[in-house]
Amino acid sequence: MSAPGGPSPRRPAFAPLAEETRAAMRRLMARYPNPRSALMSMLYLVQAEHGCVSEAGIEEVAGMLDLTKAEVASVATFYTMLKREPLGRYLVSVCTQPPCALAGAGSLRRALEEELGVGFGQTTPDGAITLEEVECVCVCDGAPAVQVNYESYEHLTPEAAVELVRKLRSGGAVPPPVHGSVPVPREAIHRELAGLGGHDPDRGGGES
C-alpha cells in the first residue's frame, strides 16, 4: 500500500504467503460467524511473515475475505501497530507523553538515536532494531518507559536503555522487565497478536 494518491516509493517485493500461514488464516476465519471479523488477526499474520503489512499480503487477505484491497488497506492504514515498512527483529517504542517526558524521555530518545544511528520510524541497517515513538504504554508510574516488542521496561536511564539495545542487537541475553517477560522475537509477538498461541501461558490466547 502507499500513501494514497502519492507516488509510491519502491517497496521490497515479498514472496507469496506460506501455505501454513494461509491455513492459519483459514482457521481464524472459521472462528467467526462473519469471516471478515478475522481481518485484523490476518493482517498480524502477514506482519509476522513479512515484517509489515505487505502489498502481497493485502492482496491475499482481500482475496480470502472477498474484500477489495481498498477495504483491507483502510484497516491496515488506520491501526498504528500495523506497519507499512518491514520491522527489525525488535521494535523499541519510546513513550514521549507528558509523564515520561517529565521523567526524561527526551534524553532517552537522544541516547537511543545516537547509539542506533537512526531516528523514530527507522530501522537499523542490520535489521535488528526499529525505533518508534508511541503515545502512552500505560505504565506512567514507571516513567520514563520504553517497550521492546511490547514488553515494558520502566524507570530507564539513558545508560540503561543504551545497554538494553546493545544486548538486543548483539543477540545477548537481556534482563526481564519488572513486570512481564523477556521480549520474544517479533514473529512470535505478531502470531500472538493474531490470536494464535501466546509465549506467556498466563496470557492465554492458545489456539482454539
Query: Which residue, 40 or 128, is less far from other proteins as judged by CB?
Result: 40
Place of cell 544511528: 117
Phi-psi region of 47 (alpha: psi -120 to 50; beta: other; left: phi over 0): alpha
**Minimum distance from residue 75 beta carbon to other proteins (Å):** 9
Residue 35 C-beta: closest distance to other proteins, Å: 14
Taking the least distance from each CB to other proteins, the nearer of 73 and 194 is: 73
Q: What are the two backbone dihedrals, phi and then psi, of residue 63, each rounded to the nearest 5 degrees?
A: -65, -40
Shortest distance (Å) from residue 76 CB to other proteins: 9
Asked if 5 is part of the footprint of other proteins (rule: CB under 8 A), the reply reads: yes
Size of the site for other proteins (CB under 8 A): 17
**DSSP state at residue 85:** S
Q: Which three cell numbers stand for residue 47?
A: 506482519
Task: Say if CB 98 and CB 135 are below 8 A apart.
Answer: no
Of residues 93-132, those binding other proteins (CB under 8 A): none
Give me the residue label for grid cell 502477514.
Answer: 46
Per CB under 8 A, contacts with other proteins among 21-80 are: 58, 67-71, 73-74, 77-78, 80
Pick the closest to residue 50 from 21, 76, 86 (CA basis): 86
Q: Which is nearer to other proteins, 67 or 165 (CB)?
A: 67
CA angle (30 as vertex; 28, 35 as ends), nearest 5: 85
User: Given candidates 2, 37, 107, 157, which one binds other proteins under the rule CB under 8 A?
Assistant: 2
Residues lying near other proteins in the complex (CB under 8 A) are found at 1-2, 4-6, 8, 58, 67-71, 73-74, 77-78, 80
